[in-house]
Structure 1
Amino acid sequence: MRRFMALLLVSAGVLATCPPVAVAGSGTVIRRTSYGIPHVLAADYRGVGQGLGYAFAEDNACVMADIVVTLSAERSRWFGPDNLASDLYYQRVNQSTVVERHLAGVSKQARDLVRGYVAGFNRYLAQAAQPCGGAKWVRPITEIDVWRRVHQVAGLTGSEGFQDAIVSAQPPGVPTPAAAPVSRPEQRPGSNGIALGRQATAAGTGMVLGNPHFDWDDSWRFYQHHLTIPGELNVSGAGLFGVPVVNIGHNDRLGWTHTASEAQTMTLSKLTLVPGDPTSYVVDGETHRMIAEQVTVSGTTRTLYRTPDGPVVEDTRALQWTDTTAYVLRDANHGNLRVIDQWLAIARARSVPDLHKALVRHQALPWVNTIASDATGTAYYSDVQVVPHVTDDQRARCGTAADIGLVVLDGSRADCGWGTDSDAVTPGRFGPSRLPSLVRHDHVSNMNDSPWLANPAAPLTGYPSIVGDVGTERSARTRMGLDMIGSNTFTLSTLEATMFGNRNLTAEQGRAAVVAMCQANQTLPASDGSPVDVRAACSALAAWPGTGDTGEGSRGAYFWRSFIVLTGRPGTKLWQVPFDRADPVHTPRGINAGDPGVQRAFADAVRAFATAGVAVDVPLDAVQQYEGIPIHGCRGPEGCFNVISAQGPPRPSSKIPHGSSFVMAVELTKNGPRMSSMLIYGQSADPASPHHTDQARLYAKKQWVKGEFTEREIAHNPDLTVRRLR
């Protein structure tokens, strides 16, 4: 083992607040700085894994235990029969041994990291008194539990979103619970990412703004941490619960973030069935039988079906299993455990060229773009990830008419299966050379639209359409993000201010016109033709400044949100200036307040608020809260960058299901990184923890947490505590 520098001489399991001193030896040291952020120092991957697992368990042992119950297909046993669909899905995955079989492709470093993580988590569990209130479903975790979590994360926007459709798929005539609609995450993972090069920063450095939009539910939260192996690894940022790496973060020379990619990572195949035998299908005239699998959970046995490509899926709409047709899901991330090695390689990259090489070498990112910058002031965008090899020609030859927003191929022809590229790390995928990337010295960004306008001055084209489109209207959030970047020259403080400026593009484009319209019309016709008094709503919008800030000035923001949703109905001509491909950043624009559809939407919004018993001037503070703390921000479709997807309107709820989560602004200077961060919902999902709401209170005041990266910075933190694990 390597010998440590700057370890803290404290006994195992004993906390201290003394300054660090140099010692030699092995073990793991966990330094916690303000807001409970752990900085783990160890001699090897197993050691940093142990420290991270222990620290994470201190904050979130019960959440991880719950995740393990889910992945072990034991929810029905502990939490009742309503969990049967989940258990059938995960039991099928576990019976397939897909995780065990693909561990052979994982590096020793990744295996050691997970092994240490498990040891650290279980060490805390063994020391804790009555963890999770003594719940019987809490048990020590295993390495397979963690790898199952890794596999779950890799498949989040693929098979994971089709659980009900997989477990309810049954041949015609076989009694089974009613098939569920195609199931996807309640809120698709989204994000904003901006990387600034030396031409866009005052000091000529690189900067990165990371702003993932994720579920705020316990199991999909981020956890902030810093991992150091002297001479090998030094990375700080945040990772999803249960995954022992930094997903979004920085080292001393490079910062990066990810956004959910528009690339489709799965396809469906439409099978032609043998007449009279709905579990047999035909490919190029040859008959094949589906593979029947018996899956048993809590005394319930169900036969599920698959082909070599993947499971049969069914819903009650476009994907019905009939006497002639069935559908099979093929997920490009099935068996993808290499994501741990991919994120470790990113963490070790020291420059944009290093990062690109790491993405090309592993090609294991599951469903995300990468946005990065380095200390030379070089900015980088990439969609090098896992993408099925389905060319545009193949889509034209083999595509079917099923309109569900996914690629559906003709499963009766072998030439409609996935192809492959010679430089693809895994067969059946596009190689990195076919996927878009861009290097700039001004800026790149992505706000979940396709790669086309990563930088409007250098549009990306020529990539396969399964990656995304070209030349189409960008979302209001994308246009807001591009406008925020503009031609500005940023410092770290102006980047922070831009993030929490809470601008609202639709309000900027049309609030004044809408107010003028409703001031001229005290009543407006609703969709059923009846008149609606709109004076109160009009007054609220007239006084509202048009942002997602909280406070008394937010009265009208919630009503605007409801109104904008209703303007999306068919027949409404919302914009005065339509989308123009020659000016995609600034079009469409100008709300057409004189359009009858816009006016009906306004009246219908007023009526909806009255029906719900909610005042049209309700402040955001009353409808966007986390544990009673007002949360600023607004929804992406409004044209808001800082996304907070609160419930409603007009049916408000204090729960925030989705939105900005871990926010990072980092400047990569020649003298090291300067970073500010905000983990809005805190390090711990436990309401009893002091780190459950501490950062939310900062967020409410738009205050950031100053990042501490060097040993000196960590040692001088006023809230420093230290634990040594031998």
Structure 2
Amino acid sequence: MKLRPLVIALALLAPAVATVPAAEAADGGYSATIRRTEYGIPHITAKDYGGLGFGYGYAFAQDNLCTLASWVVTLRGERSRYFGPEAESDDPKPVANLTSDVYYKSVAASGVVRRLLARPAPVGPSDELRRLVDGYVAGYNRYLEDTGVANLPDPRCRGKAWVGPITATDMWNNLLDFSRMVSSSGLKEVITGMAEPERPKPEPPPAAGSNAWVLGRQATRGGGGMVLADPHFPWQGIRRFYQVQLTIPGVLDVSGGSLYGTPVVQIGHNAEVAWTHTVSHAQHFTVYRLKLAGGHSYLVDGRAEPMGEQEVTVTLPDGTVSVHTLLSSRYGPVLATGHTDEAAYALADANAANLRAADEWLALARAGDLDELRTAQRTYQGMPFVHTLATDASGTAYFADTSVVPHVTDAEAKRCAEPSPDPGLDAYVLDGSTSACLWGRDGDAVVPGVFGPGSQPRLVRADYVANSNNTYWMTNPAKPLTGYPQAYGKTGTDLEPRPRVSLDMIAQRLSGTDGLGAPGFTLETLQATVHGKRNLTFELMRDDLLKLCRAQPELSHEACQTLEKWDGRATLDGEGAVLWREFFSRLGRPMWRVPFDPERPLTTPRGLKIDDPAVRQALADTVEFFRSNRIPLTLTPGEAQSYSSIPIPGCTEGEGCFDRVRTGGPLGTDGRYPEVNTGSSFMMAVELTPGGPRTRTVLTYSLSANPASPHHTDQTALFSRGEWVTERFTAAEIAADPQLEIITIHEEP
């Protein structure tokens, strides 16, 4: 492309200036305006999709070029060349670089992206999405060319040989990899057969947690719809969220959280609709047992089929190559696990060829009401592994598991069942020796082998729908969902503490018993409810634990006194919060006094089984750890856990904490946990009103991964204090920001 000089206007501009639309590019080239408000949040405006992608790619590169540059090396299978074959990759579930390279080289060589790009929408990308991707690549590369690798502001990749221009293929590979995140991409070691001997057998990465509430007109004080988005995604790497607003006047105006390296908003709102997601319990892949027929072949309906053989070559730092041969079947890659002389196993991934998700998110962003949002979902059917919860200005609450699920009926799952090659692999294992066990097809499905919209769990309510990674069953306890294929998850099962505390928080707010005033949600009470920091296991076990303390005076008086005084909230100053966590983790498993009863899912299990010697031993061991390491029993979350030296409140998933955190390991002898690496990420509370959306957000790890950026931890400090950012959505709101900065960028064809 021929380049024009970059037109830049950086200033604290008068409000009137900020309302000027993006300048049109000469001769049909890319053009966009980037307006940044508090905390560096970019608002991108352009006259078309190519320009919008161009502005977005440029803005993202300003903040996070190094993270995406490293991930592109990963997607190209070149990590061994630059970082060594044994070093750990930057995958969401890290593996050795050589394992990562073999996997991604095999994906590229399979030609799956090329074949999808040759297909029309909805199976292939729409023209709008293709222009967004092309523009995004051009914007990223333009920033890199303007700045130069040697002058990048981020010290992590400044001057590095592995930094260079990206291509549209890189971005399509990233979109595909995200769709495969809880399936193929999380099983690299078992697909390549390159697990390290000391590692346990590979299994899918733990599904990212999330909380999502959609409050309908009967639950809100204002009578409109409200959404709480609280995805619990990684705090490092490519699966972080980036906060952005994308606008094409009269066509698109969406604000929210966008995963790194993607040109669309995954969780967000426009003027009329808001939506969010949580990870589903549904099956997204199955395993087929192959009956071997000698050599690299297997039997289907009595006939031998040869396995495919793919040779993968990876370049090492010294210029030599490492060659690997991978096997495939009609179902998918042949796995390294469970292989015997008689049988092998193959992975069938429902998201193996799913680029539809990005188009679906783009269509959600354009939806004018829930009907249009549901039409978008029926059209693309691309949500890879998440539930969708949404509302519009009418105050209707909507939930559906529209994720891509293999079409395996309950009858087929029973009829075709085979022993699993790995008990840790949570998937149907089916008989691959007969075509009678192939995935079925629904007439309303856009691709074969998956359930269509008519088979998916869904619920529409006027009060609320909610999910905290529980199955669809208890979306609203007043209307339990049942009767769907078990491939979508089981019903009648233990809710787990986090979903239980979530539903209890809603119930208390609707009854006005949470101390926050009159019943019903406002934007302000929604914010306060979310940051309550309740620890449900402590609430459910406290009385029994104190009974044990009184009955066993030889137990630590100081520990019992600390827990008795603690209010059960994992705030920064919660004295007792860390002591409880350490005790609870030492139980190994929850010692419930009253077991789970499917007839009472909201009140069972409960209590602490204090007559079990393991309970007393866990408490004694906990106290001994604190005392032997001179750690005060009153240690608080603010003292024990942090991110970039900023104290972080909250507690863990198992404890039953709504806004849970996860650290990189156990409590150290210095009274510190390793840095927080997972938890609430892009939090959004939005109320849809006749006057437009009212929104509060916080990006917990902040906008930029660059440690030298002023926006590296500024929102993290807000999150630490329980504060939010008031979103600027309209042109007038953006223009009123006294910190407003504007740049306009052009590029001719």
TM over 0.5: yes
Q: Is the 8 A contact 1:608 1:650 kept in 2?
A: no
2:161 paired with 1:136: yes
Task: Tell whether the 8 Å contact from 2:183 to 2:284 is kept in structure 1 after alignment.
Answer: yes
Measured after TM superposition, the shift of residue 385 of structure 1 is 2.0
Equivalent residue for 1:688? 708
- 2:599 aligned residue: 582
Q: Give the letter aligned to residue 500 of structure 1.
A: H
Structure 2 match to 1:38: 42
Q: Is residue 2:111 matched to residue 1:97?
A: yes
Pair 1:684–1:163, CA change in 2 (3 A)? same
| Structure 1 residues 22 and 658: alpha-carbon distance in aligned structure 2, compared to 1, 3 A threshold | closer
Report the CA distance shift for 1:22/1:621 in structure 2 as closer, same or farther (over 3 A).
Answer: closer
TM-score for the superposition, normalised by structure 1 = 0.92
Q: Distance in 1 between matches of 2:627 and 2:180?
A: 42
Question: Could you tell me whether the CA contact under 8 Å between 1:662 and 1:680 is conserved in 2?
Answer: yes
Between the aligned partners of 2:664 and 2:196, the Cα distance in structure 1 is 30
Please give the secondary structure, in 2, of the residue aligned with 1:581.
Answer: coil
| Cα distance in 1 for residues equivalent to 2:365 and 2:132 | 14
The answer (yes or no) to whether the contact 1:215–1:657 under 8 Å persists in 2 is: yes
Q: 1:715 aligns with which of 728, 735, 740?
A: 735
RCO higher in structure (CA 8 A, sep ≥6): 2
Q: Is the 8 Å Cα contact of residues 211 and 467 (structure 2) preserved in structure 1?
A: yes
Could you tell me how far apart the structure 2 residues matched to 1:324 and 1:53 are?
51
**Counterpart among 553, 570, 575 of residue 548 in structure 1:** 570
Check the 8 A contact 2:36/2:740 in 1, yes or no: yes
* Equivalent residues of 1:635, 1:644 under 8 A apart: yes
Bigger shift: residues 27-36 or 592-601: 592-601
Tell whether the 8 Å contact from 2:32 to 2:54 is kept in structure 1 after alignment. Answer: yes
Alignment of 1:530-541 (within 5 A): 534-541=556-563
| Aligned match of 1:223 | 242
Are the aligned partners of 2:39 and 2:711 in contact in 1 as well (CA < 8 Å)?
Answer: yes
* Range that drifts further, 64-73 or 290-299: 290-299
Aligned partner (choices 174, 190, 193) of residue 165 of structure 1: 190
> 2:202 aligned to 183, 199, 202, which one?
183
Does 1:15 pair with 2:15? no
Distance 1:560 1:649, change over 3 A: farther
Alignment equivalent of 1:412, drawn from 416, 427, 433 = 433
Residues 490/603 of structure 1: CA separation in 2 closer, same or farther (3 Å cut): same
1:496 aligns with 2:527: yes
Where do residues 425-444 of structure 1 align in structure 2 (5 Å cutoff)? 425-444=446-465
Equivalent-residue separation in structure 2 for 1:146 and 1:245 (angstroms): 12
- Any idea what SS the aligned residue of 1:548 has? coil
Per-residue CA deviations over 1:676-715 (Å, capped at 9, x if unaligned) read: 0000100001111111110011111111000111000000
Tell me which residue corresponds to 2:676.
656
Identify the match of residue 546 of structure 2 among 495, 509, 515.
Answer: 515
SS in structure 1 of the partner of residue 441 of structure 2: coil
Task: Name the SS of the counterpart of 1:200 in structure 2.
Answer: coil
Report if aligned partners of 2:666, 2:674 keep a CA contact under 8 Å in 1: no
Q: Deviations over 1:495-527 (max 9, x none)?
A: 00111111111111122321331243244xxxx
Comparing 460-469 and 580-589, the one that deviates more: 580-589
The alpha-carbon deviation at position 395 of structure 1 amounts to 0.6
Paired with 1:699 and 1:591, the residues of 2 have a C-alpha distance of 33
Report % sequence identity: 47
Distance 1:616 1:326, change over 3 A: farther
SS at 1:636 equivalent: coil
The CA RMSD measured in Å over matched residues stands at 1.8
Are the counterparts in 2 of residues 359 and 385 from structure 1 also a CA contact under 8 Å?
Answer: no
1:456-478 Cα offsets, whole Å, 9 max, x none, are 11111111101011111101000
Quote how far apart the aligned CAs of 1:187 are: 4.0
Measure how far apart 1:182 and its partner are: 4.3
- For 2:419 and 2:579, locate their aligned partners in 1 and report how far apart those are by CA, in whole Å: 39
Supply the distance in 1 between the matched residues of 2:459 and 2:445 (Cα, whole angstroms): 19
Alignment-derived partner of residue 321 in structure 1: 339
Moved more, 343-352 or 599-608: 599-608
- Counterpart of 1:398? 416
How many angstroms apart in 2 are the aligned matches of 1:684 and 1:449?
32
Q: Amino acid of the residue matched to residue 636 of structure 2? A: P
For the 8 Å contact 1:424–1:430, the answer to whether it is kept is yes
Does structure 1 conserve the Cα–Cα contact (< 8 Å) formed by 2:19 and 2:735? no
- 5+ residue gaps, structure 1, are 1-9, 170-175, 524-532
**Is 1:29 matched with 2:29?**
no
Counterpart for residue 220 of structure 2? 201
* Mean Cα deviation higher: 348-357 or 135-144: 348-357
Q: Distance in 1 between matches of 2:706 and 2:628?
A: 36
Partner of 1:75: 79
1:151 is aligned to 176
CA drift at 1:561: 1.4
Q: Tell me, what secondary structure is at the counterpart of 1:234?
A: strand
Q: Secondary structure at the match of 1:518?
A: helix
Match of 1:473 in 2: 494
The secondary structure found in structure 2 opposite 1:389 is coil
User: Are 1:255 and 1:372, in contact at CA under 8 Å, matched by a contact in 2?
Assistant: yes
Deviation at 1:369, TM superposition (A): 0.2
Q: Does 1:674 align with 2:699?
A: no
**Counterpart Cα distance in 2 of 1:537 and 1:279:** 62
- CA contact 1:16–1:723 (8 Å) conserved in 2: no
Give the deviation of 1:81 after TM superposition. Answer: 1.4
The answer on 1:566 being equivalent to 2:601 is no
Corresponding letter in the other structure for 2:347? L
Q: Summarize the Cα distance change of 1:463–1:144 in structure 2 as closer, same or farther, 3 Å threshold.
A: same
Residue 549 of structure 1 aligns with an amino acid whose one-letter code is T
- Asked if 2 retains the 8 angstrom alpha-carbon contact of 1:320 and 1:326, the reply is yes
* Structure 1 residue 615: Cα displacement: 4.4
8 A contact 2:187–2:204 mirrored in 1: no
118, 131, 135: which one pairs with 1:116?
A: 135
Q: Residue 399 of structure 2 is aligned with which of 375, 381, 384?
A: 381
| 2:66 corresponding residue in structure 1 | 62
What residue number does 2:330 align with? 308
Pair 1:177–1:695, CA change in 2 (3 A): closer
Secondary structure in 2 matching 1:342: helix
CA distance in 2, matches of 1:442, 1:639: 24
Secondary structure of 2:488's aligned partner: coil
Equivalences, count: 691
| TM superposition shift of 1:286 | 1.4
| 1:284 and 2:283 aligned | no
Q: Equivalents in 1 of 2:304, 2:10: separation in Å?
A: 67
Report the counterpart of residue 6 of structure 1 in structure 2: none
Q: Which amino acid in 2 is paired with 1:210?
A: A
State the match for 2:90 in structure 1: none
- Corresponding position of 1:173: none
TM-score (norm 2): 0.89
Specify the alignment match of 1:528 in structure 2.
none
Q: Is the 8 A contact 1:168 1:177 kept in 2?
A: no
**Counterparts of 1:269 and 1:649, CA distance in 2:** 37
For residue 158 of structure 2, give the secondary structure of its aligned residue in structure 1. helix
User: What residue ranges of structure 2 are gaps of 5+ in the alignment?
Assistant: 26-30, 87-96, 119-123, 316-320, 512-519
Alpha-carbon distance in structure 1 between the residues aligned to 2:100 and 2:539: 44
Q: How does 1:622-637 map to 2 (within 5 A)?
A: 622-637=639-654
1:341-356 to structure 2, matched below 5 A, reads 341-356=359-374
Answer whether contact 2:572 2:639 (CA < 8 A) is retained. Answer: no
For the residue of structure 1 that corresponds to 2:9, the secondary structure is: coil
1: CA distance, partners of 2:204 / 2:711: 27
2:613 equivalent among 596, 599, 607: 596
Give the letter aligned to residue 44 of structure 1: D
Residues 266-297 of structure 1 deviation map (CA, whole Å, 9 limit, x = unaligned): 010111212xx352212222112211111110
SS in 1 for 2:615: helix
